[in-house]
Structure 1
Amino acid sequence: MKLKMSNLPLPHGGRLIDRRLGKNECRKAARLISGAQVFELSDNLLMDVAKISDGSFSPLEGFMDREDYGLVVKQKKLKNGLVWTIPIVFDISRKAALAVKTGDTIALIRGAHPIAILVVRDKFIPDRRKDAKLIFGTTDERHPGVREYLNKKDVFLGGDISTLNQPRFGFFAFDYEPRQTRDIFTQMGWRTVVAFHSRNVIHRAHEFLQKSAMQVSDGIFIHLIAGKTKTGDFLPDIILGGYQRFIKLYYPKQRALLGVLTCAMKFAGPREAVFHAIIRKNYGCTHFIVGRDHAGVGGFYQKYAAHNIFDEFGDLGITILKLSGPYFCKKCREIVTEKVCPHPTRYHSAVSGTLIRDLIKRGKTPPPDLMRPEVAKFLLRKARIKNIFSA
């Protein structure tokens, strides 16, 4: 049975934000910042600026002020009442903050290039350790999201941004903006679009999830994360290359769109699952696949916690497909889930990115039960000539 037919959803908050300045506005902004305080954008902040500017993070128009930040951390919502689960913040040092006051316009640059301006609406010092506990469920610094959060600078600036030069990244042909995907989905005649988020190479368990969703939708948008992930993960270009080969061989034409999301992983587990769903709603997707341990790391989150968090909210404007974790069953002799497999766990073999990374690092070919041979061959060939894992 097909999923219920529908038009593409409205963006979160009702409209797609666009904070990019036109030519005349850029000239005015350039004059405005000629004597302004200047701040260099880190990789993560540069990606946040890009995603705020192009509407991926709608309804955000800038970095969060104290009120929005506090509500997001404590209540998972913005002051306008919309659901939002991850703080989007601009951090600076205490020393730099001494020269900034509310109402100031500051320049955000990358190297010698002006990127955006930020009109400072608020300046505040959060309790990062207390807030990390609420965001990540732990203050254990073995958690990469916690470690990154606690290493932020002490002062947060809140305020709207305007972009003079939209940041571009290394996957430009795949780094779609929400307006682009909405146009593509419409041109393809897709009324139901399932989004699949991944930071890993394509393996048989993910193939199972994707094909399950494709059975009941018009198309699938495979949206690969290409921001900073965790040490040991496959590099984004390797993940993308594997998917390109896989889709060409194993998916019907006009049924799958491959894209890249230039956004750093937070590893915030359940909260990040909601954040990723909202982003895909902005991209025009009607449905979003959430697996057993979406955006999880190590053993920090309970099994299916990323499913259960959605029970806290009403209609988000995107349908969540809560899919069970697939595995290979030696009795069934195929990829299955607990929903359809009656056999005890002694017949189950895990299919995971961790297992595949270990095999590739040792120069071993993942068996066909784990990964399509063409993808495995590609990974092994690349591993022989260069490093394919993040440092």
Structure 2
Amino acid sequence: MVSKPHGGKLVRRLVAERTRERILSEQREYPRVQIEHGRAIDLENIAHGVYSPLKGFLTSDDFQNVLDEMRLSDDTPWTIPIVLDVGERTFDEGDAILLYYDDLPIARMHVEEIYTYDKREFAVKVFKTDDINHPGVARVMSMGDYLVGGEIELLNELPNPFAKYTLRPVETRVLFKELGWKTIVAFQTRNVPHLGHEYVQKAALTFVDGLFINPVLGRKKKGDYKDEVIIKAYEALFRHYYPRDSATLATVRYEMRYAGPREAIHHAIMRKNFGATHFIVGRDHAGVGDYYGPYEAWDTFDNFPDLGITPMFIREAFYCKKCGGMVNAKICPHGEEFHVHISGTKLRKMIMAGEQPPEYMMRPEVYEVVRSFENPFVE
């Protein structure tokens, strides 16, 4: 059975067209707050239920509980603070305000609370470090001094160059039902697929009805693959190596936090809201640098027996010259001298040098897609 939404009900914070027109016609009467792209993406994810049960940005009780307990104040598992920061107070609690991205009014927000917070506490509890070299820490330290909590109503969608690949939770749930899938495993990615990814995905698929590959589109760190490259690479992989009746692809816009174990839980919750019953948890999931242990995210799931989605822990795959294929440490008896580990960093260097990776690392069809781009990487 497709999973129930997190918290029991799929949130939809979209206003009726007549209400939307009225709000937009009166927009000069509302305090106006500019937000950056990541917050606008969070707004969309709240409005379409990707972040169910959230109906808006966190108030102080929920914010503090997420930091301290990795749960909302009603004890619902929740690990990443979804907050709106502002630099100054230009409105009051109880006000309705309009949130703008560039000159586009994105949402109306009903301000329940305006509160201060400790940035260092935020960073240390979420990212386990206050090192400014961590991209998530740097983001927190650059935030405004106040957080604003309250429910939102979406007025406009952000421009979406990948709309044809975008499905909302209400749509994926219908799709899975039409496909006859009762058990669905989701795979989160921000990379072009290599044979290690394919091994993990297909290993998981053997135990469920369907595979839901859900690439993250949005701001990424320097050196990550560009959104279009990831999509085109997966299209090639699907075209040649995946059965149509047991795998599907749809994107989600999301700003990576690189919060390691906490973000692994958050990613699982998001896919639960899409309807997935299982979630593949990767090695060093949502990690960056050496801030988290290789399989630390796996242990974190032990703290959430009530998560409502089943984590799938599949060991890192490598090519064994003796076995003659992709394997992992649990099934391969041979020594390290026979193993070839697939490193994302190594693959990037090969691609940048114009060198085609061996077929046991990357499918040639995928490589052809990547090399067709003049520069496939974020600068």
2:53 to 40, 55, 59: 59
Q: Sequence identity of aligned pairs in percent?
A: 39
1:240 counterpart SS class: helix
Q: RMSD between aligned alpha carbons?
A: 1.2
Report the secondary structure of 2:372's partner residue. Answer: helix
Counterpart of 1:216 in structure 2 is 207
CA distances 1:111-130 after superposition (whole Å, capped 9, x unpaired): 33221111111111211112
In the alignment, which of 216, 225, 232 is matched to residue 234 of structure 1? 225
Shift of residue 269, structure 1, vs aligned partner: 0.5
Q: 2:37 touches 2:101 (CA, 8 Å); kept in 1?
A: no
Asked whether 1:83 is paired with 2:77, we answer yes
Aligned position for 2:246:
255
Q: Which residue of 2 aligns with 1:23?
A: 17
The alignment of Structure 1 onto Structure 2 pairs a total of residues equal to 379
Alpha-carbon distance, 1:348 to partner? 2.0
Is 2:377 the partner of 1:389? yes
In the other structure, the counterpart of 1:38 is 32
**Using a 3 Å threshold, how does the CA distance of structure 1 residues 14 and 32 change in structure 2: closer, same or farther?**
farther
TM-score for both structures, normalised by structure 2: 0.97
Q: CA deviation at 1:38?
A: 0.8
Q: Say whether 1:112 aligns with 2:103.
A: yes
Structure 1 residue 351 displacement after superposition: 1.0
1:11 pairs with 2:5: yes
The answer for the alignment partner of 2:148 in structure 1 is: 157
Contact 2:122 2:140 in 1 (8 A): no
Counterpart of 2:261 (choices 270, 276, 279) is: 270
Displacement after TM superposition at 1:365 (Å): 0.6
Q: In structure 2, what residue type is equivalent to 1:70?
A: Q
For the 8 Å contact 1:203–1:352, the answer to whether it is kept is no
Whichever residue aligns with residue 15 of structure 1, its letter is K
Instruction: Return the alpha-carbon distance in structure 1 between the equivalents of residues 368 and 275 of structure 2.
Output: 34
User: Does the CA contact (< 8 Å) of 2:99 and 2:106 recur in 1?
Assistant: yes
2:180 alignment partner, one of 178, 186, 189: 189
Three-state SS of the structure 2 residue aligned to 1:294 is coil
Worse-superposed segment, 297-306 or 326-335: 326-335
Q: Distance in 1 between matches of 2:351 and 2:140?
A: 31
Q: In structure 1, give the amino acid aligned to 2:79.
A: T
Q: Structure 2 residue aligned with 1:122, among 113, 123, 131?
A: 113
Unaligned runs of 5+ in 1: 1-6
Counterpart in the other structure of 1:301:
292
2:3 maps to a residue whose letter is P
Q: Which amino acid aligns with 2:375?
A: N
Structure 1: which 4+ aligned runs deviate by more than 6 Å? Answer: none
Determine the structure 2 residue equivalent to 1:72: 66
Tell me, yes or no, if the aligned pair for 1:205 and 1:352 is still in contact at 8 Å.
no
Name whichever of 365-374 and 168-177 sits farther off. 168-177
1:103 equivalenced with 2:94 (yes/no): yes
Deviation track 1:112-168 (CA, whole Å, cap 9, x = no partner) reads 322111111111121111221110111112211111121112211111101112334
Matched, 1:140 2:131: yes
Please state whether the residue corresponding to 2:275 is helix, strand or coil: coil
| C-alpha distance in structure 2 between counterparts of 1:333 and 1:233, whole Å | 30
Residue segments in structure 2 that go unaligned for 5+ positions in a row:
none
Q: Which amino acid aligns with 2:378?
A: S
TM-score relative to the length of structure 1 = 0.94
CA distance in 1, matches of 2:98, 2:302: 41
Contact 1:33–1:105 under 8 Å retained in 2: no
Letter of the 2:252 partner, please give it. L
